[in-house]
Amino acid sequence: MIHFRRIGHRLLASVGGIVILGIVAITLTYAIRQEASSLQQAENALGKVTDSVAEGLAAIMLGGHAKAAPDFASRLKNVPNVIDYRIIRIDGTQAFVDNATVERVNTRLGEFEFTGRKGEPAPVRAVSSIDPALERMRQTGERVFSYHTQPGGERLVTVFSPIHAGLSCKKCHGAEDVLRGAITLTVSMKDIDDDVEHTWRLSILVIIGALAGIIALIYWFAHRTVVSQIAEFLKAMETAAVGDNSVRLKATSRDEIGRMAHSFNHMNEELLQIYGNLKEERTKLNTVIHGASSGIVVTDAKQQVVLVNRAAENIIGRSEQAIIERGFLHLFDDSAWMEARIQDEGGEASSPLLEWNGKILSVQASTIRHEDGTIIGSAALIRDITEEKRLEARLKEQSITDALTGLHNRRHFDEVLVTEFKRWKRYAQPLSVMMIDVDHFKKFNDTHGHDCGDRVLGAIGAVLKALAAPSLIPCRYGGEEMLIVMPGVVEERGVQLAETVRQRIAELVIDGLKVTVSIGVAGLPGHEVENGDALVKLADDALYDAKEGGRNQVRRAGPRSAGYLGADTQ
């Protein structure tokens, strides 16, 4: 069975088709020319016959033997293949069968020169006066052939050969008539058609024979020189396509096929070397990817997951098969979230944090594009930063916390004070500060040792942390001094809170010793200050007033006569 997918059959069909067209064209041209030549020879033969008849007829007429003309003409009917023969006038009526011409000639001569036929024979219409062939002969004065087919299929040809009026005819017929009539001869074309048919049959046989031989030759030559080598080349390429680059072709010839074989062998050698290098690099890459602590998930252009490393399985908590089945956008059960990560293309959301199954993950997702902008896949780099965030939070807490008291340190206090004072300036939100100092702290250190002093400070820190609310920010200001920033608290309320602090600390007993503190409070509104430090200075002045007033008491900022709260006033 012929499959035109094969190059050999297409080559055979194309070359054979071209050859077939050429042979058919040549043969048809030959047959058509032979047919035309046969017709031309037949027409020439008919012309010669009618010319001979015309010459004989002229001799009879000039000799004055017009009555013998019909007998002369009738002899042609005995010639083989002659169907009909007549001598007609220009109007298509048959000559020499009536007295029309004799009467016209006698009238012209003015005497009874010629004797007509007995009786009054009627004119015989041999050809229609409007016959196309007759009309063409009258117009051109040339011989005309008319072909027609009988009901049985036999072809006939009728020649209209003109009889021209010569000088000798003018005496009887006058000079005004150029054509006197015509000789019509109808013959059968059977012999000629048989010859033409024979020519066509022979031509067809020649075509068939030539085609069979040429196609066989083309097929043999093409298969031997091209197709078999191409088939071998194709087989080698199919072998190489499945990864076997060890196949080699015979490159013995110097033609295009031989050069192709040489190039193929060289290509296979290069591919074998490249494949070896790629395999080695792939092994290294797989080692890196699967040994990485960060999770890696990669897709192709159709968003089908094609790579999942072990770290991704451990971090996400699903197997590689489950991740592949769920798809890239459903790594964390929120396709919209992942879609936003991909579309962000390196923006702020390209590496956000995500809380997942008790872990804090850093997910960096992006779309991978070719140089021309075509999407070739997506990738996600997933890191478990839970411990990092915990350590970061711990370090941050340590950076703003005093180790001894557990309160915020001085640096954090300065930052908070600046922020809250700006809020007061912009929104007029109340702000108060509470300055605390341990009474007779030097006695604790000098008499009972620094360890005792540290325990006192630690216990006070614990009290302040226990009393602290979201609106109270306790800090160690330095040495035995402590500060509480109170956003949203007016000075009067701050004084009340300070009294609560004083009382709680007064309940402490450290190493058998009673602990008391003095507290100063300053708040906004109520004072004209330029910054937070000025507000702290007012609280410090109030603290000094408490110390001067006997310690273990609370004083608010302002003149000393503004009043105070404390144990000494009760």
The predicted-structure confidence for 114-159, as pLDDT tens digits, reads as follows: 666 666 677 778 788 788 888 898 888 888 888 888 888 888 888 8
Report whether pLDDT(526) > 60.
Answer: yes
Could you tell me the residue range of the domain that residue 21 belongs to?
7-195
Is 212 within the bounds of a domain? Answer: no
**Conformation bin of residue 500: beta by default, left when phi > 0, alpha when psi is -120 to 50:** alpha
- The percent of residues above 90 in pLDDT, for the chain, comes to 8
Q: Which residues contact 290 (CB under 8 A, 6 or more apart)?
A: 309, 310, 311
Burial class (CB in 10 A: 0-12, 13-18, 19+), 423: middle
Burial class (CB in 10 A: 0-12, 13-18, 19+), 355: exposed
Is 474 within the bounds of a domain? Answer: yes
Per-residue confidence (pLDDT) for residue 567, from 0 to 100: 44
Q: Which residues contact 88 (CB under 8 A, 6 or more apart)?
A: 94, 95, 126, 127, 181, 182, 183, 184
Per-residue confidence (pLDDT) for residue 303, from 0 to 100: 80
Lowest mean pLDDT among 302-311, 372-381, 383-392: 383-392
Quick one: CA torsion of 389, 392, 396, 397, rounded to 10 degrees? 60
CB 563 within 8 A of CB 492: no
Looking at the structure, tell me whether residues 262 and 380 fall in a common domain. Answer: no
CB 214 within 8 A of CB 19: yes
Looking at the structure, tell me whether residues 363 and 275 fall in a common domain. Answer: no
Per-residue confidence (pLDDT) for residue 170, from 0 to 100: 60
Rounded average pLDDT over 506-535: 88
Which residues are known catalytic residues? 480
Looking at the structure, tell me whether residues 142 and 249 fall in a common domain. Answer: no
Cis? peptide before 470, omega within 30° of 0 = no
**pLDDT (tens digit, 9 = 90+) per residue, 64-94?**
666 666 666 565 566 566 777 788 888 888 7
For residue 305, which of 294, 288, 320, 293 has the smallest C-alpha distance? 320
Looking at the structure, tell me whether residues 330 and 427 fall in a common domain. Answer: no
Looking at the structure, tell me whether residues 40 and 170 fall in a common domain. Answer: yes
CATH of the domain at 408: 3.30.70.270
Report whether pLDDT(563) > 60.
Answer: no
Which residue among 390, 408, 434 closes a domain? 390
Looking at the structure, tell me whether residues 309 and 176 fall in a common domain. Answer: no
Per-residue confidence (pLDDT) for residue 553, from 0 to 100: 92
* Sign of the torsion formed by the C-alpha atoms of 52, 54, 55 and 60: positive
Name the pLDDT band for 565 (thresholds 50, 70, 90): very low
Taking CB atoms within 8 Å and a gap of at least 24, the contacts of 486-489 are 486/431, 486/432, 486/433, 486/434, 486/523, 487/420, 487/423, 487/429, 487/430, 487/431, 488/429, 488/430, 488/431, 489/430, 489/431, 489/432, 489/523
DSSP SS3 for 96: coil
Is 33 within the bounds of a domain? Answer: yes
Rounded average pLDDT over 236-264: 72
Rounded Cα gap, residues 161 and 143, in angstroms: 5
Query: Which of 92-106, 109-123, 513-527 has the highest average model confidence (pLDDT)?
Result: 513-527
Looking at the structure, tell me whether residues 379 and 310 fall in a common domain. Answer: yes
Show the tokens assigned to 138. 């009258």
- Concatenated DSSP letters for 128-173? -TT-HHHHHHHHH-S-EEEEEE-TTS-EEEEEEEEEE--GGGHHHH
Looking at the structure, tell me whether residues 22 and 152 fall in a common domain. Answer: yes
Is 78 within the bounds of a domain? Answer: yes
CB 16 within 8 A of CB 207: no
For residue 479, which of 533, 441, 520 has the smallest C-alpha distance? 441
Looking at the structure, tell me whether residues 460 and 553 fall in a common domain. Answer: yes
Is 464 within the bounds of a domain? Answer: yes
Q: Which of 314 and 286 is assigned the larger pLDDT? A: 314
Mean pLDDT for the chain? 77
**Based on the structure, what is the number of domains in the chain?**
4
Per-residue confidence (pLDDT) for residue 110, from 0 to 100: 64
Per-residue confidence (pLDDT) for residue 503, from 0 to 100: 92
Name the pLDDT band for 349 (thresholds 50, 70, 90): very low
Looking at the structure, tell me whether residues 434 and 523 fall in a common domain. Answer: yes
CB 561 within 8 A of CB 527: no
Looking at the structure, tell me whether residues 484 and 367 fall in a common domain. Answer: no
Rounded Cα gap, residues 362 and 294, in angstroms: 10
